[in-house]
Amino acid sequence: MKSLLNSLEESLALSPVGVCVELPDGMRLGPADADVRLRFRDRMAVVALAMGEIGNVGAAIVEGRVALEGSMRQLMAAAAALLRLDPARDVQMNWWQRVLVRARSMAAHTLTGDAQNIQFHYDLSDDFYALWLDPRRVYSCAYFREHDMTLAQAQEAKLDHICRKLMLREGERFLDIGAGWGGLLLWAAEHYGVDATGITLSRNQHAHVQRLIEERGLGGRVRMQLLDYRELQVPQPFDKIASVGMFEHVGRAQMERYFGTVHRLLRSGGLMMNHGITAGGLDNAGLGAGMGEFIERYIFPGGELLHVSVALQEMARAGLEMVDTENLRPHYARTLWAWSDALEARSDEALATLVAQHGQEKGERALRAYRLYLAGCALAFERGWIALHQILAVRPSGRAEEGPMRGAQSGYPFNRGYMYAGQLQASA
């Protein structure tokens, strides 16, 4: 233990912010006037900190075995300095571990299991999410097209960026897989005139969007269904499909079925956009340093990340052709810091909201978990441990003469000019 404490003290000295660690026996490491103070009630949590297992330290904070004082930004600066290995590349798997990971993925991603996992996260509390998301409650990476955009403006820019990439046209049949609180679904309907269908497994989100559809008089051409993507049956395929922040929940073992379902639901020559978080490492099953386990336990049970190259392979196997891929990784870091800062500014309201709905103990635990999750993910995107890719794909028609240029086999023009010409100005 003494050698671990010596190693920990050396690591604390390298931190860009002052960190004070108080051990269970009262011993203190680091300056008394530090920016970040961690009071440990559990010796195993001290070992985790010394070993750079910051996800396990986060779990101890959530469970009340470590008390935290200091800002989330300062804490993450310290956490990065305490890491021993790159979390995106220190989780390598042999062939047997790969078999186990796939078996667990198959067992976890059933219709019932996925519904429970989604409701665990997204049905925590609409009022809680409303405290730190933008007014449209867009719970995915924003697009800071201009440096001085607010979060609300950047979210509208993202919604329009997706609609432009998909070349949405009035009257087209549009599907939003995992439609959330309806931001993209309603933006596409109101700004592009599409006939829009959204699906979700969240009861809260379904009820919220149903209210918005009725309030805005869109019932004739916008609908929201409480449905798993695998169960969606339609009389005719969609012209355009978007999936935003959803494929992270699909699971590695279900990826072939997921993209196969998209192929089935998309008309010949149609376009689809897959916007999702991807792994920073090629071979890891999740983030190392205990961070993957933290997210699985407290935030997104059943979530699995794939490297973008794996996602592209799965799309290709399903018969979808990638025509454009864009990495928005730094945009998601900025988005998450905006969410984190907003939650910190309204933490008292957030705690009252969660306690009112879930009781004192569960409410306090949930708030501690989300504070760490938002800031920790912001750090992960900044450091490149995870990324965010928008992948635009087509279902080729097989007819060389179809499209804006010979061989396109779709409506895609095979240049990016149309994505940026005459952009809508996102409102405040």
Q: Identify the domain boundary among 56, 82, 108.
A: 82
At 172, which CATH number? 3.40.50.150
Q: Catalogue the long-range contacts made by 12-16 (C-beta closer than 8 Å, 24 or more residues apart).
A: 12/78, 12/82, 14/81, 15/77, 15/78, 15/81, 15/82, 16/77, 16/78, 16/81
Query: Confidence class of residue 1 from pLDDT cuts 50, 70 and 90?
Result: low
CATH of the domain at 66: 3.30.1050.10
User: Is 141 noted as a catalytic residue in this protein?
Assistant: no
Select the more confidently predicted residue: 18 or 86. 18
In a domain, residue 93? The reply is: no
Confidence at residue 428, expressed as pLDDT on a 0 to 100 scale: 37
> Is there a single domain that holds both residue 187 and residue 146?
yes
426 in any annotated domain: no
Mean pLDDT, range 33-62, rounded to an integer:
90
Same domain, 206 and 284: yes
**Whether residue 168 is found in the same domain as residue 243:** yes
Give the Cα separation of 411 and 405 in Å (integer).
9
Write the pLDDT tens digit of every residue in 277-328: 999 988 766 677 688 889 989 998 888 899 999 999 999 999 999 999 999 9
Q: How many residues does the chain have?
A: 428
- The two structure tokens encoding residue 163: 């609609």
Measured at the CA of 242, the angle between CA 240 and CA 246, to 5 degrees, comes to: 155
> Residues 24, 133: one domain?
no
pLDDT at 336 over 50: yes
Note whether residue 276 is domain-resident: yes
Distances in Å between the Cα of 385 and the Cα atoms of 62, 85, 129, 341 are 23, 11, 25, 21
Query: Is the pLDDT reported for residue 143 higher than 80?
Result: yes
pLDDT at 88: 74
Average pLDDT over residues 93-112: 70
Domain assignment of residue 316, yes or no: yes
Residue range of the domain that includes 26 = 2-82
Q: Of all residues in the chain, what percent carry a pLDDT higher than 70? A: 93
What average pLDDT does this structure show over 375-390?
Answer: 95
Whether residues 158 and 220 fall in one domain: yes
Domain count, the chain: 2
Residues 78 and 104 in one domain: no
Domain boundary residue among 82, 111, 126? 82
Minimal CA–CA distance to 286: which of 302, 265, 270? 302
Are 369 and 340 contacting, i.e. CB atoms less than 8 angstroms apart?
A: no
Q: Kindly state whether residue 24 falls inside one of the protein's structural domains.
A: yes
Interval 154-187: pLDDT, tens:
999 999 999 999 999 999 999 999 999 999 999 9
Checking if the pLDDT of 379 tops 80, the result is: yes
Give the separation between CA 78 and CA 17, rounded to whole angstroms. Answer: 6
> What does the pLDDT look like over 185-198, one tens digit per residue?
999 999 999 999 99
pLDDT band (50, 70, 90) for residue 31: confident
Same domain for 193 and 70: no
| Lookup result for tokens 């509208």 | 156
The answer to whether residue 258 sits within a structural domain is yes
Which residue in the list 20, 141, 163, 377 is annotated as catalytic? Answer: 377
Are 149 and 187 members of one domain? Answer: yes
19 and 148 assigned to the same domain: no
Among candidate residues 5, 48, 61, 20, the one with its CA nearest the CA of residue 290? 48
Tell me, yes or no, whether 88 lies in a domain. no
Establish if 11 belongs to a structural domain: yes
Same domain, 205 and 77: no
Lookup: tokens for 132? 């730190």
Residues 45 and 191 in one domain: no
**Residues 148, 75 within the same domain:** no
CA distance 227 to 131: 27
pLDDT band with cut points at 50, 70 and 90 for residue 99: low
Distance of alpha carbon 115 from the chain centroid: 17
The residue among 53 and 169 whose pLDDT is bigger is 169
Q: Are 253 and 223 in contact (CB under 8 A)?
A: no
Structure tokens at 205: 């989100």
